[in-house]
Amino acid sequence: MKNVTVSMDDSVADWARLEAARRNTSVSRLLGELLADKMRHDDAYERALQDWLHRERSWASDGQPYPQRETR
């Protein structure tokens, strides 16, 4: 586990202390968990995007024109 120094606005630090206390944990652990969640979310999004981009597309037309929109 690495130690890092984080700089933040006073209001953010106050929120982090209160949130950590509410969760009965330390600010350090809270920030680690928040960043880990963000990392997992971003990784899942990137995998889903790459999967979609690399899928074989099977959209095919039978040559028929599109239906006309009904007018009132």
Look-up of token digits 């074989």: 56
Instruction: Quote the pLDDT of residue 60.
Output: 79
Q: Is the dihedral of CA 47, 49, 50, 54 positive or negative?
A: positive
pLDDT, tens digit (0-9, with 9 covering 90-100), for 27-58: 999 999 999 999 999 999 999 999 999 998 88
How much of the chain exceeds pLDDT 90, in percent? 71
End-to-end CA distance of the chain: 68
The helix (H) or strand (E) run that includes residue 41 is: helix 27-53
> Mean pLDDT in the chain?
92
- Write phi, then psi, for 5 (nearest 5 degrees): -105, 135
